[in-house]
Structure 1
């Protein structure tokens, strides 16, 4: 089972973030391009041939986020979208953040964009 096949679990707060060694192991399971930024959030830049493709991707990831009840920050610009994921209630990473990241990768693959 891939990370994208897992259901995001709502966080009610009061739980610790995943330990760094677990976060690093999960990061290795994600597609290329994912990293942990200086705030400790998962982040990936996706590139597209134009604004319309980037907007389509944002809308698809938004629909997945709504269905999962887990919402990333989506930064849309011409030909690109940065997805930033973390669990807001604990200001850290949970396994569900990695699941949502993998789901974003799945949507990207389904678009078959002309750019990376």
Structure 2
């Protein structure tokens, strides 16, 4: 079976189902550095640490390029030496499998 990063992202439409909470542990097994922030809209979250702002900014731009290529965009918070990345699907107000795929692809950038 293909890893999450190798799987195809599917276009998510309004009304598509979110990933059921009982499936999260299986998907998170491939994303050990990520956590799920529960709230009105659950999201995958990870903080990436870098040596300086320039490296953090370069990583932010790499994530942006991957996001743009799939038409699926995260929340990115770039600070000196760190970047917080949060993935969720705005159209459905929660987590879609594409979010887990994009988190895995984000991991491959470091």
TM-score bucket of the superposed structures, by smaller chain: over 0.9
Find the counterpart in structure 2 of residue 10 from structure 1.
11
More helix per residue: 1
TM-score normalised by L of structure 2: 0.93
Stretches (4+) displaced over 4 A? none
5+ residue gaps, structure 2, are none
Contact 1:17 1:94 in 2 (8 A): yes
- Work out whether residues 8 and 70 of structure 1, in 8 Å CA contact, stay in contact via their aligned partners in 2: no
SS in 2 for 1:14: coil
Question: How far did 1:29 drift?
Answer: 1.4
Q: Number of matched residues? A: 107
**What corresponds to 1:112 in structure 2?**
none
Matches within 5 A, 1:68-83: 68-83=70-85
Structure 1 residues 8-63: Cα deviation after superposition (integer angstroms, max 9, x where no partner): 21211111211111122101111x32000132200000000000000000000000
RMSD across aligned positions (CA): 0.9
Counterpart residue number, 1:53:
55
For 2:46, which of 44, 52, 67 is the aligned residue?
Answer: 44
**C-alpha displacement at 1:6, in angstroms?**
1.5
Query: What SS does structure 2 have at the residue aligned with 1:23?
Result: helix
Greater mean deviation of Cα atoms: 83-92 or 1-10? 1-10
Give the match for residue 105 of structure 1: 107
Q: Is the 8 A contact 1:7 1:68 kept in 2?
A: no
